Structure 1
Amino acid sequence: MTSSFEELLRIGAEADVSGWDFSWLDGRATEERPPWGYARRLGERLEGASASLDIQTGGGEVLAQASRLPTLAVATESWPPNIARATALLHPRGIAVVADPDEPPLPFADGAFDLVTSRHPATIHWGEIARVLRPGGTYFAQHVGPASAFELIEFFLGPLPEQRLGRDPGVEAEQARAAGLEVVDLRTARLRIEIFDVAAVVYLLRKVIWWVPGFTVDAHRERLRDLHERIRSDGPFVAHSSRHLIEARKPSRSVSEDDVENRPASPTPA
């Protein structure tokens, strides 16, 4: 039996939205996956690292998939429910979870890590990433790209032409270079999303709170009803996510710098 509009609202409103695992949406929404396999490639890089930092780890779900970890592995997170979930998931693996407000500075020393990672960071502070990387270290991440899920966001907020320009991968690459990093890989993908009922919409807007700021079921009931009727008459609501894979490296010290540091002092004139 098909659930009523009110029942779907209740289901979406009561769902647990802590952590960064979207498996609750199974059967209610689908999203095409990027072709590069971020979690697998993250695991490969972690195997070769000695000290790693995962920024804005969410509930730690992606990091926890790694089969092998560096001797020192740290993750940061700002949202209290996610901090609790990440701690429970990652501490048994020997990964320290640090509460951090996602604003500079990162609470770590210069050059503390040879690998810094992040999956879908809400904010990206390139200067801090460069600072905590060792010379020769790597930043490896999957970012949300421009106008991601904007078909759904603009359904509630109306046209957002300026916001559509944000999160441009080319701009982010230039920001990384300006912070002193070398961009060695940049790949983009536009991926299809299908949403099958309004419960999934309520869940998503409660979880990804920056999509529709201040979202509540009561405040947006009529627009939710419009979307419910549209899905009933036309089938799944289609949107598109945008993702890019970025890998940037902090240059090693040049030979000339090493030569200057190690050059014997000139004799003092008599």
Structure 2
Amino acid sequence: MLDDKDFLNYIKAAEQSFTGWDFSYVTGTGRIQEQLLTWSYGSIVIPHVSKAQSVLDMGTGGGEFISKLAPFTNSICATEAYKPNVPIARKRLEPLGVKVIEIEEDNKLPFDTGQFDLIINRHEAYSPSEVRRLLTREGIFITQQVGGLDCVEINEQLGAPSNQEFAHWKLDWAVNELKQHDFNITLEKEEFPVQRFYDIGALVYYLNAIPWQVPDFDVDRYLGKLYKIHQMIQTKGYFDVKQHRFMIKAVAK
């Protein structure tokens, strides 16, 4: 292992900074590729953003998505809970007229009741009761979520425990929860697309960027298991895992 220069070079090259929600260091070079979903969050959201009077983008990250919809003729706010992302989002979005609010709790957001007629949410936690409070009657909530079974093959190969706290987080659970909070569901989909890693450095970069996948991840701690995955990639050409994605469009009663 310690004399495998390719393996060690991949590991060393993974020591790159990660900001906002930008995986281009590994996706832009094709080192990680994802199977396509049968829906596009962006294509679903865009017509609604253009029609809405007041929009909230929950969990904006570094503002990467919402910034691409400018210029805006309506009122748009964005929230972000991950502190390192907040100044990035503000720098990107505030010149476009988007107000960025740093939050700490999903169930207590600093907005008025009925302030928004559209709330969008991509891969961000949310409180159904709080989303309903913030929406006008017939307001629309659109979310794409990462399910609780996301990429569990990584944990299995590393011998790391999976996060059982989110094992229940699936489409049917989320749909039922929204129905219980005065929403009508108008669109729902769930899929398990393949995510493919073409080198071990890409996997290490991914795990460093998403610490909740393997909360105790450390290269030295998992070096032996990482090397086994590296050997698998060298033989097969890639390492596949299944993502877990679902999306919901809901209308407030």
Decide: shared fold, TM above 0.5. Answer: yes
* Pair 1:181-2:183 in alignment: yes
What CA distance in whole angstroms lies between the structure 1 residues aligned with 2:64 and 2:54? 19
Matching of residue 72 in structure 1 with residue 101 in structure 2: no
CA distance, structure 1, for counterparts of residue 127 and residue 163 of structure 2: 24
Once residues 143 and 197 of structure 2 are traced to their aligned partners in structure 1, the CA distance between those partners, rounded to angstroms, is: 26
Match of 2:196 in 1: 194
Number of the residue aligned with 2:21:
20
Shift of 1:162: 5.0
Bigger-Rg structure (1/2):
1
Question: TM-score if structure 1 supplies the norm length?
Answer: 0.86
1:139-178 equivalences under 5 Å are 139-158=141-160, 160=162, 162=164, 165-178=167-180
State the 1:241 CA deviation. 1.0
Q: How many residues align?
A: 248
Structure 2: unaligned runs, 5 residues or longer:
none
Larger mean CA deviation between 105-114 and 210-219 belongs to 210-219
1:38 is matched with 41
Aligned CA-pair RMSD: 1.9
Which one is further off, 156-165 or 52-61?
156-165
Corresponding residue for 2:100? 97
Change over 3 Å in CA distance of 1:34–1:156 after alignment to 2: same
Mark the CA change 1:3 to 1:128 in structure 2 (over 3 Å): closer, same or farther: farther
Residue from 123, 129, 132 that aligns with 2:131: 129
- In structure 2, what residue type is equivalent to 1:212? V
SS of alignment partner, residue 4 of structure 1: helix
Q: Is 2:230 aligned against 1:233?
A: no
Q: Percent identity?
A: 27
Letter in 2 for 1:69: F
Aligned mates of 1:71, 1:41 — CA distance in 2: 18
- Alignment-mate amino acid for residue 150 of structure 1: V
Q: Distance in 2 between matches of 1:128 and 1:66?
A: 25
Whether 1:107 aligns to 2:96 is no
Give 1:68 deviation, angstroms.
4.7
Task: Tell me the TM-score normalized by structure 2.
Answer: 0.91
What letter is aligned with 2:57? D
